[in-house]
A and B are shown apart, each in its own frame.
Chain A
Amino acid sequence: GTRIIYDRKFLLECRSSP
């Protein structure tokens, strides 16, 4: 199957989103 990969930039952006 497909692996769900998130790069660090995306993960860090999610931190500040509501």
Chain B
Amino acid sequence: QEIVSPESYIKHPLQNKWSLWFFKNDKTKTWQANLRLISKFDTVEDFWALYNHIQLSSNLISGCDYSLFKDGIEPMWEDERNKRGGRWLITLNKQQRRQDLDRFWLETLLCLVGEAFDDYSDEVCGAVVNIRTKGDKIAIWTADFDNREAITHIGRVYKERLGIPMKMTIGYQSHSDTATKSGSTTKNKFVV
């Protein structure tokens, strides 16, 4: 009789169950109709099964998004868990689609599923990558733009994980400011 170690068949559970969403910009449909839930997972193995199966962000056409959110939170400002929140925003230039986009997005996913922000990870709602001709964007969304301690911790760890140089800064913006902005830029509530 062969003894099989549990290590070889038990999947590694995640702290949270996550949902991966896909947005494709079809101007004949409403924003919400363009948003589709791809799949949910709650183990490390199922995360990789999904990630290995889908297109890299850099292969998506302009106007598409991937969003990874905790189960029960929809990837939109209006969701109860997002509406008082904001995001750490990484803006990429055109060269970075080839150099950094896929690497940064995978690192973002690993931060989320691995709970990289310790107890402040509870403040994380999800993350979004936007593929856009004028420049791609990646962001981690958190629940409460007043929670300075959590937001700055998350921002510092995130910046380090992405390997962004000390001398460069990233900014955190509230969704309410993003939604009501008049120009092309939103003011930063926090910077690290």
Contact = CB atoms under 8 A, between A and B. Distances in A.
Interface of A: 3-8, 10-12, 14-15
Interface in B93-147: 107, 110, 113-116, 118-119, 121
A12 B52 CA distance: 12
B12 A6 contact: yes
Contacts of B44: 6, 11, 14
A4 B161 contact: no
Contacts of B169: none
B7 to A, nearest CB: 10
Given A14-B12, A15-B52, A6 B121 contact: no
A6 B48 contact: no
A7 B111 CA distance: 8
A10 B51 CA distance: 16
B45 A5 contact: no
From DSSP, what is the main secondary structure of chain B's interface residues? helix
Given A3-B119, A6-B114, A11-B47, 4 more contacts: A3-B115, A3-B118, A8-B116, A11-B114
B72 interface: no
Interface size class of B (residues with CB under 8 A): 20 to 34
Contacts of A14: 12, 44-45, 48
Contacts of A5: 15, 114-116, 118
A11 B12 CA distance: 10
24 contacts: A3-B15, A3-B115, A3-B119, A3-B121, A4-B14, A4-B15, A4-B115, A5-B15, A5-B115, A5-B116, A5-B118, A6-B14, A7-B116, A8-B107, A8-B114, A8-B116, A8-B161, A11-B44, A11-B110, A11-B114, A14-B44, A14-B45, A14-B48, A15-B48
